[in-house]
Structure 1
Amino acid sequence: MSDSAPRPAAESSGTELRVRYAGIGDEAGASLATQLAAIEQLNWTSIELRTLDGVPVAAVSDDEFERVAATIAARGLAVTCLASGIGNWSRPVTADFAPDVAELDVLARRCHRLGARYIRVMSYTAGGLDEREWGRRARWRLGELAERAEQAGVTLVHENCSGWAACHAERMLELAAQHPGLALLFDIGNGVAYGYRALTVLAEIVDHVAHVHVKDARGDKAEPVYTPAGAGEAEVAQCLRLLLDHGFSGTWSIEPHIAVRPHEGLAADTAHRGAHAPHEGFVACGRALERLVVEDVLPTLPGWSAVPGGLRGAGAR
């Protein structure tokens, strides 16, 4: 790893590298109870929070949030990341900036209460602006937010989803290099949905990736079909192997999109039932990730081993 491209600080302690499995809870169900039950069924110890009963985690009332935090703590689970709406597909760069600042302030406080470190953001849609002005405004906004996050003791993780830097490795690297309060979140399945090869982009940004979303897909950006890890065309095993080969230490969080896709208006309470019931599909995707790692990733990486809830390794190759 290059001296000029420092990795974000590892989530594990000491010299031992560790990867924790987690999942975005509302992909398993709307209620906190269902989300926690799915994580526990997988025998995992970490969860990522996006919505609770359909309400974004930043918009939950203080009293309800305190109940959520107490419940998670009582179950002995860790929260690895909080999703935000900052810069996402619903917020063009021409929209009012004040709600983004206010949301960050709420989520930073809630991160501290939960012991979470990361807040997921994106980099704004263009809102009709030309490329140059779009980039100028997106960079300024993310710079302001990253400085605020650093002061609050949390880290923004920029996802390769919608926005100015969504599909461009050089833009992601620019953001990460210029702002200590911002690192990169890499979603493996987004390459299929947005029309690029995930492995190619990951190879360019891997040393700045702090958090990972795991999904798989086949097809193209016109009509992606989401699948369990290893059943699609996103080269999930190769991406995970590359991360480990570069000393990644942190969380691999499943976001299956099998039954729940917020950007399409498909939520847990409206998703198909039967074979596509959110809870069952979420657990099946978690098991698929575990199998893929054991069968296709670890055999080429001596020193790494599967343990309950994640991976343990003696060091980077």
Structure 2
Amino acid sequence: MRVVAGRVERATASASIATIMLVPKMVVVVTWMLSGFGDEIDPDPAVQLPVLLALGARHVEVRSAWGVNVVDMRDEDLARLAGLLERHGVGVSAIASPIGKSGVHDDPATEQARLERVVAVARRLAAPYVRIFSFYGAEDARDVVLRRLRAFADVAERESVVLVHENEKAIYGDTPERVLDIVESVGSPALRVAWDNANFVQVGVRPFTDGYAALRQHVAYFQVKDARFADGVELPAGQGDGELRETIAALRRDGFSGFASLEPHLRDPAYPDVLTGPRRFGEAARAFGGLARELDVELA
């Protein structure tokens, strides 16, 4: 946190003489750690990491590397990735796992084993957070969802990592009410919220207006993405209906000081093999950086 001194003018009158006083105005600038989904830039971390560094990010969110998802990474893949991270001086903000992006009635043992592997990846790469989801086809299976997420939380507690639930569309926890139900019913310090404005928009929710007040105390991770109501298309931060400005301002006001991770989903025909590509990833970073500066948030 740092403080920037500004100046405001105040008029005072003594007898018939008006005097202009310059009064210091203290503006508190908070710092958030900038990260991003590296595989949205390029499949190769040797390309991802220099782009992130050029955009001011000193962390990466790892979902895949060389086209291999984190669940399927071999020990030799992890060692190679860890070496690249160390050489570039880049930390890992989170493991963007696919755990819970499966049917609610699929074999629990299989998904539990996949979680164990992802947690091992997080430990190897010194990532404090692991992203998870709350299952497809689960609208009427609340008890099953909570039982399975409680088992996930037990693993996270044992291994000293924090699971962050993303409000992905079409899973059980896709609305603020259901996300709140999940975190409060599971009741584990190892299960928190990864907030995604665009995903809320895509299920017809006004993110800040309809969800922020209820979920703020549980938000540990901020995924930066915007979208519009009309067609669900993702846009750079501040250009859609995701109430990014209101959300950033409120998080700043409420003392959030964690990771802001760029997950733009901005398709670029020049890079058909990735979700965004380096050119549009830079566009997303600049849009978010501009909003952050306007709202006295410093990204580091």
Q: TM-score scaled by structure 1?
A: 0.79
2:50 aligned with 1:37: yes
Distance 2:48 2:181 in 1: 35
SS in 1 for 2:34: strand
Q: Is the 8 A contact 1:226 1:257 kept in 2?
A: yes
The aligned amino acid for 2:70 is V
Give unpaired runs (5+ residues) of structure 1: 1-15, 261-265, 299-304, 311-317
What is the aligned length?
268
Cα RMSD for the two superposed structures:
2.1
Q: Which has the higher strand share?
A: 2
Which residue of 1 is the match for residue 281 of structure 2? 282
Q: Which has the larger radius of gyration?
A: 2
Runs of 4+ in 1 over 3 A off after TM superposition: none
Q: CA deviation at 1:174?
A: 3.2
Which residue of 2 is the match for residue 180 of structure 1? 189
Instruction: Work out the percentage of aligned pairs sharing the same amino acid.
Output: 31
- 1:62-108, CA deviations, whole angstroms, 9 ceiling, x for partnerless residues? 101111011101211110100111112xx110111122211221122
Q: CA deviation at 1:161?
A: 1.0
Which residue of 1 is the match for residue 162 of structure 2? 155
2:219 aligned with 1:219: no
Q: TM-score scaled by structure 2?
A: 0.84
Q: Is the 8 A contact 1:211 1:252 kept in 2?
A: yes
Distance 2:245 2:190 in 1: 29
SS in 1 for 2:168: strand
Distance 1:208 1:143 in 2: 16
Q: CA deviation at 1:182?
A: 0.4
SS in 1 for 2:195: strand
RCO higher in structure (CA 8 A, sep ≥6): 1
After superposition, residues 129-168 of structure 1 pair within 5 angstroms as 131=140, 134-162=141-169, 163-167=171-175
Which residue of 2 is the match for residue 107 of structure 1? 118
Q: CA deviation at 1:17?
A: 6.0
Which residue of 2 is the match for residue 86 of structure 1? 99
Which residue, 201, 206, 213 being the options, matches 1:192? 201
Which residue, 125, 128, 131 being the options, matches 2:136? 125
The aligned amino acid for 1:42 is L
Which residue, 15, 21, 27 being the options, matches 2:40? 27
The aligned amino acid for 1:150 is E
Which residue of 2 is the match for residue 253 of structure 1? 261
Which residue, 63, 88, 92 being the options, matches 2:76? 63
Q: Is the 8 A contact 2:221 2:259 kept in 1?
A: yes
Distance 2:177 2:201 in 1: 19
The aligned amino acid for 2:207 is A
